[in-house]
Amino acid sequence: MTLSGNQKRKMRSAARLYAVQALFQMESSGQSVDKVIREFEDFRFGEHLEEGDMAEGDVDLFRQLMETAVNLQARIDQMTDRALVAKWPIARIDPTLRALFRAAGAELLETDTPPKVVISEFVDVARAFFPEGEEAKFANAVLDHMAREARPDGF
């Protein structure tokens, strides 16, 4: 079965959302990256729920974001710290946003996805988690700073 461009985009968007959820779960539960990846691929991707079906995710992108976020966590966290106001070290940031910055940082560092696409996609993820708050604007500002550091020639 060949996927349309729109289906591929939706799967990539779902993979980003799942990566943020999985990184959050790893931090809060102390589970290993391999265990969380398996759980998401086996049970979350395409899961059928009463309120609707979960999207199928792009497995390759999901794995890449997870493994890169874990392997380069110190580097990504340092990039995030530099993008934050001095009084707000990453440890004080909401754990969902911390997971979001790690997943986005992984994509900025290890893929050829244009930085503006990465920023836009992860701002959408922030809106999904925080529909009423200012977090999406905050995420946009931090991700813009991170993207300029990760890929100075990408703008």
pLDDT score of 1 more than 60 = no
Residue 143 lies in a domain: yes
Q: Which residues contact 20 (CB under 8 A, 6 or more apart)?
A: 96, 99, 100, 103, 122, 125, 129
Question: What's the domain range around 48?
Answer: 5-149
Residue 154 lies in a domain: no
Residue 59 lies in a domain: yes
Q: How confident is the model at residue 48 (pLDDT cuts 50, 70, 90)?
A: low
Residue 19 lies in a domain: yes
Quote the pTM value.
Answer: 0.86
Residue 145 lies in a domain: yes
Residue 155 lies in a domain: no
What is the average per-residue pLDDT within 12-39? Answer: 94
Domains: count for the chain: 1
The pLDDT value recorded for residue 103 is 97
72: domain CATH number is 1.10.940.10
Residue 84 lies in a domain: yes
The pLDDT value recorded for residue 42 is 86
Residue 30 lies in a domain: yes
What is the percentage of the chain residues whose pLDDT exceeds 70? 87
What is the percentage of the chain residues whose pLDDT exceeds 90? 65
pLDDT score of 65 more than 60 = yes
C-alpha 87/C-alpha 135 separation (Å) is 17
What is the average per-residue pLDDT within 79-107? Answer: 86
The pLDDT value recorded for residue 92 is 77
